[in-house]
């Protein structure tokens, strides 16, 4: 029987996760029971949400227990099936965890249609990140042609897709990211109309210039201080999509929220959060559309791939250090 290399959470991080908060261990693979699958994991999605799952506090999913395999969305190939839902050789995606082999309930994973796109595209564009961009922008943001859509964390996994969908819908897309290299990526690779560097000294001026006609949709992946500044420029009936707040995830102090919230009243604006899992019944629709855009070249997909499960912690830190462009992925 093959062995399983696993990354287990052994301590709750305080601030940025440390290597000592995890243990890499080799375990034997348990028997596959009725209704279960044995899956060879191929790609693991590295998501900012993982940081929240490490904390012992109520959220939309229970915390990862100490000593448990770290939760992660991953994609893999079925090696053995004891379910009528899948057969050996099928590709599946779900919470397979940070490990090389997973035994999962067949009902807890979904089929990956490799005729739509290869699995390395599925793990980023056709998984949580792309689906969040799709539903967050189209359902919550409700963009109209001609409007200005501003995206924070624009060079990241979600943000890189939001700007491209905004352009497809006829909007003007403005991306906010850290550093000139990422800003060039936004305009030259992703097709954003304007890029704003929040790390530059003249950031406030840059944002004001890029949003001369105001902001109709602000898609927020980051939180303060960019969120607070963006509220200054919102137009009448603007929509603020609260997708994430990565600037707060490793903070050990109080959550830093926006001061300028009164702008929501004055502008009759809406600020609304979303959790992508609520859209599960519509995943097929979004996956088909995103794949079609990708195949036609209307949406480009970029990934930052780290090889090897033992480099999980290093790869996670790259994400929080802003070193990744596009989707952060661990290849098994
Ligand atoms: N609501 C949902 O259902 C849902 C689903 C998926 C993701 N999300 C959220 O969406 C957001 C983006 O996720 P993603 O997977 O696309 O990640 P990502 O944008 O690829 O995440 C990494 C980027 O975040 C920025 N960042 C990291 N630490 C930061 C800090 N302290 N302050 C400001 N920026 C920081 C960096 O970009 P710069 O170099 O530009 O700073 C970094 O490259 C996250 O907040 C995530 O939690 C929500």
155 CB near ligand 1 (under 6 Å): yes
For ligand 1, the distance from its centroid to the CA atom of residue 293, given in whole angstroms, is 23
User: Does residue 221's CB lie within 6 angstroms of at least one atom of ligand 1?
Assistant: yes
254 pLDDT higher than 80: yes
- Measured in angstroms, how far is the CA atom of residue 82 from the centroid of ligand 1? 38
pLDDT of 3: 86
Model confidence pLDDT, tens digit, residues 124-179:
999 999 999 999 999 999 999 999 999 999 999 999 999 999 999 999 999 999 99
Question: What global pTM score does this model have?
Answer: 0.96
CA of 216 to the centre of ligand 1 (A): 21
Question: Cβ(276) to ligand 1 under 6 A?
Answer: yes
pLDDT of the residue at 1: 52
Listed in sequence order, the DSSP H helices in the chain are 49-53, 119-122, 128-135, 157-168, 180-184, 203-210, 226-231, 262-266, 283-296, 312-320
Q: What is the mean pLDDT of the chain?
A: 97
Closest residue to atom 21 of ligand 1, CA basis: 156
* Chain segment 65-111, per-residue pLDDT in tens: 999 999 999 999 999 999 999 999 999 999 999 999 999 999 999 99
190-221: per-residue pLDDT in tens? 999 999 999 999 999 999 999 999 999 999 99
Q: What mean pLDDT is predicted for residues 51-57?
A: 95
Average pLDDT, stretch 249-273?
96
Question: What pLDDT, on a 0 to 100 scale, did the predictor assign at position 58?
Answer: 87
Our answer on whether the CB atom of 52 is closer than 6 Å to any ligand 1 atom is no
Q: For residues 123 and 121, what is the distance between their CA atoms, to the nearest angstrom? A: 6
Q: Is 274 in the pocket of ligand 1 (CB under 6 A)?
A: yes
Answer whether residue 115 shows pLDDT above 80. yes
């Amino acid at each position: 029987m093959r062995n399983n290399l696993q990354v287990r959470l052994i301590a709750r991080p305080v601030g940025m996760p440390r290597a000592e908060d995890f243990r890499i261990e080799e375990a034997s693979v348990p028997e596959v029971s009725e209704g279960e699958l044995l899956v060879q994991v191929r790609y693991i999605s590295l998501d900012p949400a993982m940081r929240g799952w490490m904390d012992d506090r109520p959220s939309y999913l229970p915390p990862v227990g100490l000593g448990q395999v770290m939760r992660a969305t991953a994609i893999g190939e079925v090696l053995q099936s004891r379910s009528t839902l899948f057969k050996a050789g099928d590709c599946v995606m779900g919470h397979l965890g940070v490990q090389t082999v997973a035994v999962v309930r067949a009902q807890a994973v979904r089929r990956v249609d490799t005729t739509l796109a290869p699995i390395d595209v599925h793990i980023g564009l056709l998984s949580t990140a792309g689906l969040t961009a799709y539903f967050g922008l189209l359902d919550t943001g409700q963009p109209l042609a001609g409007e200005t859509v501003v995206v924070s964390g624009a060079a990241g996994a979600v943000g890189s897709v939001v700007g491209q969908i905004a352009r497809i819908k006829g909007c003007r897309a403005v991306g906010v990211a850290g550093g000139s290299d990422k800003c060039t990526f936004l305009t030259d690779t992703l097709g954003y109309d304007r890029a704003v560097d929040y790390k530059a000294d003249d950031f406030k001026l840059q944002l004001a210039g890029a949003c001369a006609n105001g902001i109709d949709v602000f898609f927020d992946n980051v939180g303060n201080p960019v969120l607070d500044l963006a509220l200054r420029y919102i137009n009448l009936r603007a929509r603020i999509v609260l997708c994430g707040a990565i600037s707060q995830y490793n903070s050990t102090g109080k959550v830093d929220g926006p001061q300028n919230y009164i702008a929501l009243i004055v502008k009759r604006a809406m600020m609304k959060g979303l959790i992508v899992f609520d859209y599960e019944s519509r995943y097929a629709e979004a996956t088909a559309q995103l794949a079609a855009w990708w195949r036609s070249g209307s949406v480009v997909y970029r990934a930052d791939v780290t090889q090897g499960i033992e480099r999980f912690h290093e790869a996670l830190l790259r994400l929080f250090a802003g070193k990744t462009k596009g989707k952060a992925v661990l290849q098994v």
